[in-house]
Amino acid sequence: MKTLPSFITKITAALGLLLSTAAGFSAGTLTPKDSPHAPIAIRDHDVKVTINNGFAQTEVTQTFFNPNSVDLEAVYRFPLPQSASLSEVTLTMGERDIHGEVVEREKAKTIYESEKQAGNDTGLATKEGIQAFEFKVHPVKANDETRIRIVYYQPVPIDTGIGRYLYPLEEGGTDDVAAASFWNPVNDVVEGNFSAEVILKSAWPVEQVRLPGFENETTTEKLDEGHYRILLEKPGQALNRDLVVYYRLAQDLPGRVEVIPFRDDEKGNGTFMMVVTPGIDLKPITNGADYVYVLDTSGSMSSKLHTLTDGVARVIGEMSPQDRFRVITFSDRANDLTRGWITATPENVEKTLTNIQKLGTSGGTNIYEGLSMAMNDLDDDRATSVVLVTDGVTNQGIVDPVKFHELTKTHDVRIFGFLLGNSANWPLMRTICDGSGGFYAGVSNSDDIMGQILQAKSRILHESLHDAEFRIKGVKTFHVTGDLPGKIYRGEQLVLFGQYEKGGEAELTLRARLTGEDKTYRTSFTFPDLDTDNPELERLWALDQIEQIELRANRGEIPGIESDDAIRDLGLQYQLVTDETSMLVLADERFEHHGIARNNRDRVATERLAQQTRASAPHPTNYRVDTAKPFTPGNAPRITSGGGGGGGGALPPLAVILMLLFSALAAKLGIRREA
């Protein structure tokens, strides 16, 4: 019988030669706009992160120096993580700070251009793609420094007892980004110090924290059971590598419901974030199944193709005879590499391996045709899972998200999507996977291999709760997102955002089906009339609303013009940069000149006051509300196979996914670990 570590050793050795080719492009750079001038130097790059009770605040400050003899207009490009809300942009020019206010996109552009023509200090932050933001700055003074500061918030959910925070710096993986990097080279090396401070404050005990790839540059101080301070300093660091922070909660923590509220006016509506960690250890799936691997071979995959072919070959070679498989590849067109379902006989494996080794990369990304081919010739009597791996944004064939949603509804299959890189189209992947009851995950080159394998394996190879639905009674709630998850996977933490009318006693109910049996779980708790500790929740709720509007538009449930109006209104009210709004940075007197209210200034002041109060508290608040009457029985599930934690470093994302597939199949074969 084969053993897991020996197999991993072999595949890791085969992939090791490719580490240096997993190239990406950098964010956090300031590039002269449409000019042949010398690159702008990065003097320093400082990141401050606070993770506290389910969400994180990230503050980035960078100092740039223009070595040219003329003033320039420049573009600062930065990706944000999924579901992150940009709240502050500050420019420091000389001795003066100027701040940002969110206004309608076209209005912001018009004012920026007029201020630039007048020679005034100004900036404009716009959303330019799925997760990419651009910030135009004028003027970047000749032979002088310019400082840029941004602040954003993001949820940080727990998966099988592991928290993961991502600070994205590596761009690339898509054809568009690769082309832009070729024609517009930038300086991405910090001349001085690249530094980061991460403050982790958890109401639950934390066993260990980890920053893969930066172990030699970090110092970690444990201040309390759930309180850590991590410092990172690395001079001369290139801004082409993501910063990933993992933290592992203590063993045997209970399943739980946590409700974090905000209500600063007894006459107004409150906002809440509800975090549900089910204490339901779902059983493993033991029956045979069909797997379709849908693999991107477009031009942007060229540096990863060898990893792809070698990994798929090894996965296929380890499959159980009770499972069937197909391999679909796609670029401009899709191709059924296996020409239908095949079993893992020696003859079929040898033939498939020969064909895989002949694969090449070229063309664009036609995801729709690849998925369409994967849906052909399915057996209704066998459970089918589709594993979609892509690093690009669909740019060939059908690109309408509504068509993708309709496609996922044509067959009873689960689609598991894995997105490689920070420029990928996660709203489209969410539309695809949510429609099938599957899930999707982003993968960074800086992620740990073993952790990614074990977390995804835990979901794919265990039962799930079906037809899951949350309901809140007793207190009027509205605009609740996440209350109809459909399926809940093992170890998955559910995050619901919503608003409530006023304080009072509420009952939370979860109804679902498990192995054909109806299940109901209940608990009671109190919404407060007044709680001002977490004003950032309003922005997070509003962004969650925007994402739900985009999802409904992608499904064809609401017209585009209606969704655009709703997104614009939310962006203006809660000061969020969206596809319909931008953040305009001006001096105070110029905002007054243009008649722009200082809504973001007021909101930021409220947020900073709350942050200072939380920072001075010796311990984070425990927001669990179901202690007296536990919502679900038992402890929160943890990763149970593969031994201890973190893994030994990071590999290219395709290595992660393909080793994940091996791990799933290895479990079916009963492959054991070496003692």
Residue 391 placed within a domain: yes
Select from 189, 216, 249 the last residue of a domain.
Answer: 249
| Distance (Å, whole) CA 456 – CA 558 | 33
Distances (CA, A) of 212 to 391, 447, 564: 21, 7, 40
Instruction: Indicate the burial class of 16 (C-beta count within 10 angstroms; 0-12, 13-18, 19 or more).
Output: exposed
Residue 407 placed within a domain: yes
Are 345 and 208 members of one domain?
Answer: no
Task: Provide the pLDDT for residue 88.
Answer: 94
Nearest residue to 432 via CA among 296, 554, 579, 294: 554
| Distance (Å, whole) CA 613 – CA 615 | 5
Identify the bridge partners of residue 190 per DSSP, sorted by sequence position. Answer: 42
What digits encode the pLDDT tens for the residues 326-368? 889 999 999 999 989 988 777 777 787 777 777 787 888 899 9
Are 189 and 321 members of one domain?
Answer: no
Joined tokens for residue 578: 């969206």
Contacts of 131 by beta carbon, 8 Å cutoff, 6+ apart: 79, 80, 81, 82, 168, 422, 423, 426
What digits encode the pLDDT tens for the residues 49-79? 999 988 999 999 999 999 999 999 999 888 7
Task: Provide the pLDDT for residue 656.
Answer: 45
Half-sphere exposure of 30 (CA within 13 A, CB side): 31
Say if residues 57 and 80 touch (Cβ distance below 8 Å): no
Residue 13 placed within a domain: no
| Distance (Å, whole) CA 170 – CA 24 | 6
Are 216 and 337 members of one domain?
Answer: no
| Distance (Å, whole) CA 293 – CA 312 | 9
What is the signed CA dihedral for 34, 39, 43, 45, rounded to 10 degrees? 60
Work out the angle at residue 578's Cα, subtended by the Cα atoms of residues 572 and 584, and round it to the nearest 5 degrees.
65
Say if residues 310 and 405 touch (Cβ distance below 8 Å): no
| Distance (Å, whole) CA 353 – CA 310 | 9
Select from 217, 249, 281 the last residue of a domain.
Answer: 249
- Put residue 308 in one of left, alpha, beta given phi > 0 → left and psi -120 to 50 → alpha: alpha
pLDDT above 90: percentage of residues in the chain: 46
254-279: b or e for each residue (b if 16 or more CB lie within 10 Å)? Answer: bbbbbbbbbbeeeeebbbbbbbbbbb
Distances (CA, A) of 549 to 214, 398, 481, 564: 38, 21, 10, 9
Mean pLDDT over 148-164 rounds to: 91
| Distance (Å, whole) CA 32 – CA 40 | 7
Residue 661 placed within a domain: yes
Distances (CA, A) of 524 to 91, 203, 260, 464, 663: 47, 21, 15, 25, 40
Are 299 and 243 members of one domain?
Answer: no
What's the chain's Rg over C-alpha atoms? Answer: 25
Distances (CA, A) of 359 to 295, 330, 335, 386: 11, 11, 11, 20
Are 89 and 172 members of one domain?
Answer: yes
The angle that helices 401-408 and 426-436 make with each other, rounded to 10 degrees, is 20
Nearest residue to 325 via CA among 307, 339, 312, 343: 343
Domain hosting 363: range is 290-461+652-669
Nearest residue to 387 via CA among 356, 429, 415, 425: 415
Are 218 and 342 members of one domain?
Answer: no
Which carries the bigger pLDDT value, residue 655 or residue 554?
A: 554
Joined tokens for residue 271: 């906002």
Find the range with the poorest average confidence among 8-22, 96-110, 236-250, 516-530. 8-22
Mean pLDDT over 87-97 rounds to: 90
The amino acid present at 569, given as its one-letter code, is D
CA 206 remoteness from chain centre: 22
The amino acid present at 286, given as its one-letter code, is T
Number of domains observed in the structure of the chain: 2
Residue 324 placed within a domain: yes
pTM of the model: 0.81
Element (H, E) at 72: strand 72-79
* CATH number, position 173: 2.60.40.3680
| Distance (Å, whole) CA 274 – CA 254 | 16
Are 299 and 227 members of one domain?
Answer: no
Are 46 and 182 members of one domain?
Answer: yes
Mean pLDDT over 270-278 rounds to: 95
Residue 388 placed within a domain: yes
Find the range with the poorest average confidence among 80-84, 128-132, 521-525. 128-132
Residue 97 placed within a domain: yes
Task: Provide the pLDDT for residue 598.
Answer: 97
Select from 199, 228, 249 the last residue of a domain.
Answer: 249
Contacts of 118 by beta carbon, 8 Å cutoff, 6+ apart: none
CA 503 remoteness from chain centre: 33
Task: Provide the pLDDT for residue 194.
Answer: 92
Which carries the bigger pLDDT value, residue 638 or residue 542?
A: 542
3-state helix, strand, coil in the chain (%, to 5): 25, 35, 35
Are 245 and 102 members of one domain?
Answer: yes
pLDDT above 70: percentage of residues in the chain: 81
Are 242 and 301 members of one domain?
Answer: no
Three-class SS state of 370 = helix
* CATH number, position 311: 3.40.50.410
Contacts of 134 by beta carbon, 8 Å cutoff, 6+ apart: 75, 76, 77, 125, 126, 128
Are 371 and 456 members of one domain?
Answer: yes
Are 453 and 380 members of one domain?
Answer: yes
Residue 295 placed within a domain: yes
What digits encode the pLDDT tens for the residues 120-140? 999 999 998 766 789 999 999
| Distance (Å, whole) CA 103 – CA 204 | 40
What digits encode the pLDDT tens for the residues 240-250? 888 999 999 99
